Amino acid sequence: AQGAWLLALAGREARVPRQIDLPAALRRLPLASLRVPAPSDRLEGMGLREFGQLLRLPRHGLTERFGPALLDWMDRALGRYPEVLALHTPAEHYRQRLEFLEELHALPRLLALAARQITGLCGWLAARGLGLLTVQWRLLHAGEADTRLLLGLLEPSRDPGHITALLHERWRSLTLPGPVRALEIELRQSRPLTGRSQTLFHTASGGTSAGAAAHCHGGLVELLRARLGADAVRGLAFTGEQRPERAWQMVEPGRAEIPATDPVCPRPLWLLPEPLPLEVQGGLPWFAGALAPLGGGERIEGGWWEGAQIARDYHLATRADGLRGWIFRDLRAYERWYLHGIFV
């Protein structure tokens, strides 16, 4: 096979009925067209331009100069060693369709059939050590566009009960344009999943460790996303930006990162869309009552590199009724006070 391939690379036609005829057929082939596993400049420097010239050189000397790969390539071309081909193995893909003898209208019946498909998919995943991350259903109608339903998980799972519960939440809001003649499930994304004990996260006292709490939190987020839609439940991540209004961004739940260092002063959970200008009464900023700054503060400056520079002194402030606000004095605007956030 290798010899025939070299003849094809060189654009030569030859009839080679026997293996012993291969050296003669390959002898005059130019090395420059054969993808030889050796530096072409070194071959040319030694005056080697044809395959036959390689055959005339001592094998030991070729190995010393070019390594064993060149001799292996020559022997396979001459049929001395069998050609080992790397077979193409397509990636495994799971898709399964149920065709109905009669069109179905009832969503509960369709959900029951989809649950059966989930069980089959989870068995397929278990055999491969995988967990489901994203799966899609396609409901086929006669004369109408297909209905597609995409279900995503935050962590890989192959628990049929958990996945079916999430699907049930999505199914409740499904509206069909017509009866369904087929139901197709397709695995869109998976990830290796190692087996773990159901009691791995339980403490000796019977309580739940931080790992189990995180697992329960992830399950709640998945349930809310299934019920409300993926775009309705988002996570927050820090950006490393000093300016508070740009210090965070929306991300997929579970992808938030904890900053390496804590801020100098506390940060409110509720940040106003825009800083609210405050009037000053009796020497104190006023927001339905006097806001009294507490102790020291924190100066935040930045944004000069993009023409949006800020220079602010932030303070934690309290009101008589207990409200705690995050206020700042703008050092670039006549030291005016603003309310930027509220602690809840």
Contacts 24+ apart (CB under 8 A), 205-208: none
In the predicted structure, residue 201 carries a pLDDT above the cut 60: no
Q: What are the structural domains, with CATH classification, of the chain?
A: 2-77 (no CATH), 95-195+212-227 (3.30.1490.100), 266-343 (no CATH)
Average pLDDT over residues 195-221: 49
Q: What's the rounded Cα separation, in Å, for the pair 166 and 219?
A: 9
The reported pLDDT for the residue numbered 60 is 87
Query: Residue 6: in which H helix or E strand, if any?
Result: helix 2-9
For residue 265, pLDDT beyond 90: no
Predicted pLDDT at 261? 53
| Confidence label for 189 from pLDDT (cuts 50, 70 and 90) | very high
Examine the pLDDT at 55 and tell me if it is beyond 50: yes
What are the pLDDT digits (tens) for 157-167? 999 999 999 99
pTM for the full predicted model: 0.50
